[in-house]
């Protein structure tokens, strides 16, 4: 009985580790498949995936026929504070780009990629 309880606890915590909250109802635009793909990528990329808040979600297909999910994410940093919403693009189930602040390095490169995959 003890091992069954432990197995159930492990399964429930594994699923919750990548669960994010959609703040504005836009999950309807991308469906369950899109949410699952975003959850997987965010779960590996964020310091605290439990805290992630998503909004402005959308699905785009690029000229290269690549599906990407775009939106904004806010999550807690290592000090436990929310960092503010930042744009993101999840590209073809493999890459997640989250925009840095405008004064941080790589902002122009990431902004260019977000524009390429999120604006049709």
Q: How many domains does the chain have?
A: 1
Domain hosting residue 65, numbered range: 2-118
Mean pLDDT, to the nearest integer, of 34-55?
Answer: 93
Q: 23: pLDDT confidence band, cut at 50, 70 and 90? A: very high
What's the token pair of residue 34? 């899109």
pTM: 0.78
8 A C-beta contact, residue 53 and residue 66: no
Mean pLDDT, to the nearest integer, of 82-94?
Answer: 92
pLDDT for the residue 103: 80
How many whole angstroms separate alpha carbon 98 and alpha carbon 114? 9
């Amino acid at each position: 009985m003890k091992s069954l309880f432990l197995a159930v606890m492990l399964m429930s915590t594994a699923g919750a580790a990548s669960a994010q909250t959609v703040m504005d109802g836009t999950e309807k635009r991308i469906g369950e498949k899109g949410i699952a793909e975003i959850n997987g990528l965010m779960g590996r990329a964020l310091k605290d995936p439990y805290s992630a808040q998503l909004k402005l979600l959308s699905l785009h297909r690029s000229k290269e026929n690549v599906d990407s999910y775009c939106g904004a994410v806010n999550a807690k940093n290592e000090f436990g504070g929310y960092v503010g919403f930042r744009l993101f693009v999840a590209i073809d189930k493999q890459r997640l780009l989250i925009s840095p602040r405008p004064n941080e390095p790589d902002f122009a490169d990431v902004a260019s990629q977000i524009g390429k995959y999120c604006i049709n």
